[in-house]
Structure formats: structure tokens, C-alpha cells
Chain A
Amino acid sequence: MPKGLSRITAPLIGQNPITRQILGVCSALAVTTGLDTALMMSAALTSVLCLSSAIISLLRNHIPHVIRLIVQITIIASLVIVIDELMQAFAFELSRALSVFVGLIVTNCLVLGRAEAFAMRNPVGPSILDALGNGLGYSLILILVGSIRELLGQGSLLGVVVLVPVADGGWFEPLGLMQLAPAAFIIIGLLVWAIRSYWTDQAETTAQATPGEQVAR
């Protein structure tokens, strides 16, 4: 598989940001109550990820090591704010729905994580591809969790009723638990279990520490 394409496909399962790199988890919880918000957040995050990786990659040779974190954060935050302002001016309806997520995107460890891990060391082209791949991996998880939560919690998908609730004369008793954030955790946990049961090379042995632990040590 050509290098470029593998950059996009690797983060889908093998190096998935949420289930493998443990990045971007915070936002995966609040926005997955419904499939529509999950889709919007996915689109927003993927765009920000690609743009910020591109900009940081362009500047990478001139960012001094000691201030690199704050420079990256400043660039990302400014980008998100400008996108939000532009949307409020030109796509008002859409921005109303997305403004809530703006704060979530700025602090999203995924955007900063990929900037630090990849965009700072690689040219613009590969950085954009890597960003796209990670954005897609993130979106995949978000869409899966969002679909499950909306389907089991309200019996609908994107607002279209699929399982007719008891209240409307059907058979389906909506699972109130799905409305709560802990449900997202539980679903992701089960998803990770399923992924690792099939792709067994991802399973952890008892002696293994997570990447985060290794950094701290």
C-alpha cells in the first residue's frame, strides 16, 4: 500500500486515536448522545486537525523547542476561534449547533497530540494525510458510539424513528442510561474489547504499560 494511503488507513483501527492512542476521548462523550451531533463534531474536528497540522508543519523548522507547546496551542486556539467567528457570520444556523463544541475542539488532546507527534517533524503533505487519517479514525468511533446511543436511547437514527418507542404505540422501551455520559464510556470499552478480540495483536499483556505511563516514567 502506498505510503500516503497507509497514513490515512492506519489510524482507522491499528492506531485509532481514541481506542489506541487514548487521545480525544473527552469530547467523544458529550457529543455522542445523538448521531447528528456526533457527525458535526467529527466534521469540525477533522477540518481543524487538517488545517492546524498543515500550518504547524509549515512553521515547524522555526518553532523553538522550549516554547513549542504554547506556540502550537496558540495557533490551534486562534484557528478554532476564527473558524467559529466565520461560521457565526456566514453559516449562522450551523454555528448555533456547533458553538458548543468549539471549546471542546481547542482543548482536544488529539489536535495537539498529532501536532506534537507528527506535524512538528514532517512536511506538509504527509502531515495533512496523517491528520486526515486520525480525523477519520476519531470520526469512526464517534459515529459508532453516537449511532448506538441514539438507537438504544431514543429508538431513532438522525431523527428518523427506527425502533418505535412504547410511548408512540410500539414495542421498544428506550434505554434511559444511554442519555448519560457513562454510557459512552461503557460502549467504548465494549468496542475496544471487540476490536482487540478480533485484532488480537492489540491486546495488552499483564506486564505492559500504556504509552502514557512510559512517558511519565
Chain B
Amino acid sequence: MTDILIAAIFQENLALAYFLGICTFLAISERVETAFGLGLAIIAVQTITVPVNALVLNGVLVEGAWRWAGLPEVDLGYLRLVAFIGVIAAIVQVLEMTLDRFFPRLYVALGSFLPLITVNCAVLGGSLFMAERQYSVSEAAVYGFGSGLGWALAIVSFAAIRERLRYSDMPAGMRGLASAFLVTGLLSLGFSAFARVPL
């Protein structure tokens, strides 16, 4: 389990190794505060959705899942993508409502990010990797937490760098987005060094 966790954070970092969720990564990383908020929200969503999707996958979609109903050959694997997206959207909606009702202060801090997370390719990507690697539900939970943590780590580091770069002296055309792309490229090159570390 620990190697799944470590790999999810470093070697297989969703943002810097697989480049998932990059649109949000680039757009919401101008300040460390907002990046931190988004990171926390992603960790929460990932930790919940990946194991739930594992349950849905193994309980409903794989070939043989309907054996108890006398339909052993039914294979709904092709619905995987849509099912995962649906589950993620539903969970995010429920999370938003729960936060609003029971943790209003958290809701004020994180609430505006939740719609962004529904369509974040990192969240869907985490579930798709879980499906590809056929994790059990407990492995999926560990992987969900780890991959969310990795993404959060990446965006907070990135925001910290961007905050510093904000007032540095650079050509007008390079300010902002162009420098963000370049820094991301360099950051991911750095993270690729982890790929060499044997687990």
C-alpha cells in the first residue's frame, strides 16, 4: 500500500507526470491561498470518488458483476467513462451540499472550487487509472488520497513559484501565462527525476 501512496504522490504525480487537470492548474495558481484551497478540495474529492468508483466498477460494470441476478455474461465496461463522470459529478454535488449545511466556514473557503473539480481531468484520470490497474477498494482509497495529495502538492509549489515571479523583471510578453507554461515544464522535468527512484 505504501508504494501505491508514494508512487501516486511522486513518480506518478497526476499534474506533473501525467499532465492531468492542467487547465485548472494553470488558471488557479496565481496565489498560494487559492491554490491551497483548491488542493484541499481535490484531496477530499479524490479520496471519496476513487474508492466509490471502484465499488461501482466491480459491483455493476465488469463482466460477471450481474451473476447474482442470473446474467453472468453482461459486460457493461463500455459505460465506464460515463458512469465515472456521473458518480464524480454526483459526489461533488453532495459534498457541496454537505459543506454548505454542516461546515459553512469550509464551504465559504472551498465551495467555489467544487464546480471546477467536476470537470477536472485529474479527478477522472485518477478513477480511470484505478480501473486500468484493477485496484481493490482499499487500494483505491489509498491511491485516491495519494493522487489528490500529489496534485495538491504540485499546484501549491507552482503557486508559490508564480507568486515570486509575479514582480520579477521579465519581458512584457512573457509575464503571466508564458512564464507559467515554462515553469510548469521545468517543474515536471524536475519531478521526472523521481521516476528513477526504485520502489
Residues in chain A within 8 A of chain B (CB atoms): 19, 22-26, 29-30, 69-70, 73-74, 77-78, 81, 85, 103, 106-109, 112, 180-186, 188-190, 192-197, 200, 203-206, 208-213, 215-217
Contacts and interface: CB of A to CB of B under 8 A. Distances in A.
Contact of A69 (B21, B78, B118, B178): B118
A213 B125 CA distance: 24
A190 B178 contact: yes
A184 B30 CA distance: 21
Interface in B126-155: 128
Contacts, number: 144
Given A189-B179, A189-B185, A215-B116, 5 more contacts: A23-B23, A26-B121, A69-B118, A185-B184, A193-B171
B60 interface: no
B177 A183 contact: no
A66 B114 CA distance: 14
Nearest to A212: B27
B124 A107 contact: yes
B119 to A, nearest CB: 5
Interface size class of B (residues with CB under 8 A): 35 or more
B188 A204 contact: no
B27 A180 contact: no
Nearest to A203: B172
B121 A197 contact: no
B20 interface: yes
A185 B185 contact: yes
Contacts of B34: 213, 216-217
A182 to B, nearest CB: 4
Given A182-B188, A188-B181, A216-B113, A22 B81 contact: no
B71 interface: no
Contact of A186 (B24, B86, B167, B181): B181
A193 B179 CA distance: 8
B9 interface: no
Given A69-B89, A78-B82, A192-B178, A211 B173 contact: no
Given A70-B89, A73-B85, A209-B30, A109 B121 contact: yes
A103 to B, nearest CB: 7
B26 interface: yes
A77 B30 contact: no
B119 A26 contact: no
Q: For the complex of A and B, list the 6 residue pairs with the smallest distance between their C-beta atoms, beginning with the closest.
A: A212-B27, A189-B181, A185-B185, A204-B176, A196-B173, A197-B173
B115 to A, nearest CB: 7
A212 B185 contact: no
Contact of B178 (A23, A107, A109, A189): A189
A78 B184 CA distance: 33
B89 A208 contact: no
B194 to A, nearest CB: 14
Contacts of B171: 193, 197
Contact of B180 (A108, A182, A189, A215): A189
17 contacts: A22-B26, A73-B118, A73-B119, A77-B85, A103-B128, A106-B81, A182-B188, A185-B182, A189-B179, A189-B180, A189-B182, A189-B185, A197-B173, A203-B173, A203-B175, A204-B176, A210-B30
A59 B52 CA distance: 31
A200 B171 CA distance: 11
A30 B19 CA distance: 9
